[in-house]
Amino acid sequence: MLNLAKGRYRARLADGAEDVAAAQRLRTLAFRGPGADRLDADAFDAACTHVLVEDIRSGTLVCCFRLLPLPSGAEIGRSYSAQFYELSALAGFDGPMVEMGRFCIHPDWRDPDILRVAWGAMTAWVDAEGVEMLFGCSSFHGTEARDYYDAFALLRDRHIAPKRWLPRVKAPAVFRFAARLRRKPDLKRAQAKMPPLLRTYLLMGGWVSDHAVIDRDLGTLHVFTGLEIRAVPPARARLLRAVAG
């Protein structure tokens, strides 16, 4: 069972309904804000493994995410992402996959070590389970695409999925940045606007859909993100496994 302690943080698997409820409360705060009128919970929670990252000294839950393992791409239609993206191209992926979803960090905590420990925990889980592809939705805060034009232009230029895996449009409201944007990205502004989770995916060789889904329920824009584990650069893999170990 996953139990990883590094510095002041510990990552572990949720143990029962109380832990899952704590993760749902943190997700509500992170995605819907203080005073939200409903809990961030859905039917996928029961099918997923939940990972919690806690501050060891106080016990505060500072980060969480959930994992939905799939034996191969033939099961991709069961994923959360399949609600928003047409993923039939990925049905041909023949290795074990896992969807990482609802990743969030407590809005009052800014320590970059939280993200490092979360990725270390993910690495340990992926290695233990023999996962060959990690995927999910990477979210930008807010629903105004113009706030992220430079980031989207950078994704268009460098990080669109290989044609054989490219997700197609399914959601009713999307921003087709690969087709619509003509600007060259300001690299500094693009990196500043890129969500930390997505930035890490890209550093490891990840790729994205050619469009963003406008999710008005959560108040986000998100792109489908995939990472073939065998494509992770060796130096990056060593760093992650050093944290995981």
> Model-level pTM?
0.95
Averaged pLDDT, 33-50: 95
Identify whether the C-beta of residue 227 lies closer than 8 Å to the C-beta of residue 100. no
The 10s digit of each residue's pLDDT in 86-107 is 999 999 999 999 999 999 999 9
The confidence score (pLDDT) of residue 126 equals: 95
The closest alpha carbon to 152, from 209, 232, 226, 218, belongs to: 209
The confidence score (pLDDT) of residue 243 equals: 86
Whether the pLDDT of residue 245 is over 80: the answer is no
User: How many of the other CB atoms lie within 10 Å of CB of 52?
Assistant: 23
Identify whether the C-beta of residue 194 lies closer than 8 Å to the C-beta of residue 188. no
Averaged pLDDT, 128-132: 96
CATH number, domain with residue 11: 3.40.630.30
According to DSSP, the β-strands at 49-55 and 85-86 are unpaired
* 8-state DSSP, 217: T
Averaged pLDDT, 45-58: 98
64-68, 229-233, 240-244: least confident range? 240-244
Q: What percent of the chain has pLDDT over 90?
A: 93
The 10s digit of each residue's pLDDT in 155-212 is 999 999 999 999 999 999 999 999 999 999 999 999 999 999 999 999 999 999 999 9
Range of the domain at 97: 3-244
Number of domains, the chain:
1
The confidence score (pLDDT) of residue 3 equals: 87
pLDDT confidence tier of residue 134, bands split at 50, 70 and 90: very high
